[in-house]
Amino acid sequence: MTITVFRGDVVLVDYPYTDRLGSKVRPCIVVQNDSDNQRLDDTIVVLLTSKTRFTPGIPTEILITADSPAGRQAGLIFDSAVQGHNMLTIDRRFIRRKIGTMPVETMSRVNNCLKAALALS
């Protein structure tokens, strides 16, 4: 079954390891625009990780605490780092389910991470 997604949705994805020898279910944020999300079978996501130790001062990452309004709206269980440098185009069939939505203000910060990761001005 293919799930309908929108930009800013936080979803659980069967996320492949970089060596492609396995995968793990991980939370991700949908960053692809809604027009393409409606017409394509694939979407673009960025990874959320609980490894937040190096996040402060890294322009491609932002910290979202689980107990903050953004963390609660996103459905996060752990403090998490948005990794703007860790993008993946994935068939929507690999999305297990939606767990939340990032607030507009947080998505603005995600946009800045993506700009830094892609060296866009």
> What is residue 121's predicted lDDT score, i.e. its pLDDT?
81
> What is residue 59's predicted lDDT score, i.e. its pLDDT?
95
Kindly state whether residue 96 falls inside one of the protein's structural domains.
yes
- Picking from 3, 113, 114, the residue whose alpha carbon sits closest to that of residue 58 is 113
> What is residue 94's predicted lDDT score, i.e. its pLDDT?
92
Kindly state whether residue 4 falls inside one of the protein's structural domains.
no
Q: What is the pLDDT along the chain (121 residues), one digit of tens a residue?
A: 789 999 999 999 998 888 888 889 999 999 999 999 999 999 999 999 999 887 788 999 999 999 999 999 999 999 999 999 999 999 999 999 999 999 999 999 999 999 999 999 8
The residue behind tokens 């020898």 is 21
Please provide the distance, in angstroms rounded to a whole number, between the alpha carbons at the two ends of the chain. Answer: 38
Say how many domains are in the chain.
1
Kindly state whether residue 1 falls inside one of the protein's structural domains.
no
Kindly state whether residue 3 falls inside one of the protein's structural domains.
no
> What is residue 17's predicted lDDT score, i.e. its pLDDT?
81
Could you tell me which residues come within 8 angstroms of residue 58 by beta carbon, excluding any fewer than 6 positions away? none
Kindly state whether residue 65 falls inside one of the protein's structural domains.
yes
- Give the range of the structural domain holding residue 85, as residue numbers without chain letter: 9-118
Kindly state whether residue 35 falls inside one of the protein's structural domains.
yes
Kindly state whether residue 13 falls inside one of the protein's structural domains.
yes
Kindly state whether residue 44 falls inside one of the protein's structural domains.
yes
> What is residue 105's predicted lDDT score, i.e. its pLDDT?
97
Whole-model pTM: value is: 0.93
> What is residue 4's predicted lDDT score, i.e. its pLDDT?
95
The CATH number linked to 90 is 2.30.30.110
